[in-house]
Amino acid sequence: MTLPSVAPLRLGSLRIDPPVVLAPMAGVTNAAFRRLCAEQGAGLYVCEMITSRGVVERDEKTLNMLVFADNEDVRSVQLYGVDPYYVGEAVKVLAGDFGVAHVDLNFGCPVPKVTRKGGGAALPYKRGLLEAILRSAVAAAAPYGIPVTMKTRKGIDDDHLTFLDAGRIAEDAGAAAIALHGRTAVQHYSGTADWTSIAELKQHVGIPVLGNGDIWEAADAVRMLETTGADGVVIGRGCLGRPWLFRDLAALLSGAPAPALPTLGEVAAMMRRHAELLADLMGEDRGLRDMRKHMAWYLKGFIAGSSVRASLGMVSSLAELDVLLGELDPSQPYPVAELGTPRGRQGSPRKVALPAGWLDNTDGLSDDLADAELDISGG
């Protein structure tokens, strides 16, 4: 599947070509993984979500996450916050002290510990507060010429949809773009993403709209762009254990044919590169421990043997990894049955945890959300 070359994404003065964004994923999209993906194809690679209060108060864990790879020409950070003051001040710190060139605001996280305090996917219901946060961030970013974008979901549930209002508010506040995950918070990552909501938002606003949800292969991105009119795509779980997805996206979105699927030997080489980058970032012991969670994603569908899989899940050194990877059959073709299938967490729909009385009004400016202003980062 090919389509004519897709126009680059414009975010203020930034030009993202192809219009592909790596979604922040806690515990996954550190500097090593972002570098690995960027080696496969161009785009925008966003740092793991950090908290505005953590930045302002110089929390050590938060600041330690602000590490960027050499090939990240555009330093991009996703920021969480519920207080307009903290969000604005955090943007100033990121721009002035860390050279960040793009800030994305997270209003899509469905995790109970976040929503039960009024943050993440719960916050867009409070239209007044959402506007205040966006305006604070945009004003703080303006002197640095940094574009501010936002990520959201359709709403809390089907009875409390917020995405159209969020798009209007984002555009009026001066945001450079809005990304929409075509699920409600109650869905979490279950079911099927509703791409029609992305098309509806695109017709509703004049700023760029990015589509997110159920892009498992590069062909899915092509189909999303064709059916929704979106200006770009956000890639999350689809790249878990498959960083070459960005290579495939770069090819198809430029009008070129899709590259050949990797053999197990090529996947093993990618695993080795990933482990090497993690070791460089964290030290060999910690880096290889972090690599363990990626093993099942890389080997999904391949014939590898239970003992090798188990050993890879306990690997503790690069030398040990080399021995184990050497036991794999490098000529084994890619398991085509895995194409187009979900990856990573899915779960099932669940009631969204909200603060008491959250749905009583849609303003939010008088709500006490001090407990929701998380002081640490990491998802």
Q: Classify residue 215 by its DSSP letter.
A: -
Return d(Cα 243, Cα 274) in angstroms, integer: 10
Retrieve residue 192's tokens: 């099927």
Q: Classify residue 260 by its DSSP letter.
A: P
HSE of 215 in the Cβ direction (CA atoms, 13 Å)?
Answer: 29
Return d(Cα 191, Cα 347) in angstroms, integer: 9
Consult the annotation and say whether 236 binds a ligand.
Answer: yes
Cα 31 to Cα 27, 72, 174, 280: the distances in Å are: 11, 9, 29, 10
Count the neighbouring beta carbons within 10 Å of the beta carbon of residue 132: 21
Residues paired with residue 161 on neighbouring β-strands, in sequence order: 155
Consult the annotation and say whether 203 binds a ligand.
Answer: no
Consult the annotation and say whether 204 binds a ligand.
Answer: no
- Residue spans of alpha helices (H) in 162-258: 163-173, 195-204, 218-228, 245-253
Annotated catalytic residue: which of 37, 47, 109, 239?
A: 109
- Measured N-to-C along each axis, helices 163-173 and 127-141 cross at an angle, to the nearest 10 degrees, of 30
Is 37 an annotated catalytic residue? no
Consult the annotation and say whether 191 binds a ligand.
Answer: no
Phi (first) and psi of residue 50, to 5 degrees? -120, 160
Say if residues 80 and 50 touch (Cβ distance below 8 Å): yes
Please give the annotated binding residues for FMN, written as ranges: 24-26, 78, 151, 181, 236-237
Residues forming the active site = 109
Please give the annotated binding residues, written as ranges: 24-26, 78, 151, 181, 236-237
